[in-house]
Structure 1
């Protein structure tokens, strides 16, 4: 769990993902379209993938991936991210991390 927290604190927006997961891809594209360049950790390329998944579930993620952190705080998985987006509450959370549009 310490590794997950260290990684989550590395950058403003962090997504724990798997390279073959279409929901992970969709969430990362959503953030990019909202002007955020998230740090993506492909856990299936880590030797301790299963431990990371278990830690994410223990932290409260309903599905272990994608697991989204904003400002070091666990937001959740796809359902939570999409609910925030559809309600209009996601953009204010992301505002500090949005890239300047040219």
Structure 2
């Protein structure tokens, strides 16, 4: 869990993802459309550490380990939580400090 917390606090928005996951892709596209450049950790590209990260994310209580979205170092959740926040308008407010000016 320490490694996840360390990685999640390296940047304002961090996404743990798998390169072949369509839901991960959708979340990454959403963040880019909201003008946020998240730090993305593709856990399938680092087999040794990736498996450990995946196990830890599962222990954190989610049935699917990816995407796991952290904002401000805190776990927001996976696709369902992110999309629910977006539909309610809360996600944009959470992301304001991390948006790039375009």
**Partner of 1:48: helix, strand, or coil?**
helix
In structure 2, how many angstroms separate the alpha carbons of the residues matched to 1:61 and 1:71?
Answer: 19
Q: Deviations over 1:41-88 (max 9, x none)?
A: 000012222211111122233420000000000000000000000011
Q: What is the aligned partner in structure 1 of residue 40 from structure 2?
A: 40
Q: What is the aligned partner in structure 1 of residue 66 from structure 2?
A: 65
In structure 2, how many angstroms separate the alpha carbons of the residues matched to 1:4 and 1:70?
Answer: 13
In structure 2, how many angstroms separate the alpha carbons of the residues matched to 1:61 and 1:15?
Answer: 14
In structure 1, how many angstroms separate the alpha carbons of the residues matched to 2:62 and 2:91?
Answer: 17
Q: 5+ unaligned residues in a row in structure 1: which ranges?
A: none
> Structure 2 length as normaliser, TM-score?
0.94
In structure 2, how many angstroms separate the alpha carbons of the residues matched to 1:21 and 1:41?
Answer: 13
**Partner of 1:16: helix, strand, or coil?**
strand
In structure 2, how many angstroms separate the alpha carbons of the residues matched to 1:48 and 1:36?
Answer: 26
Q: 5+ unaligned residues in a row in structure 2: which ranges?
A: none
Q: How many residues align?
A: 101
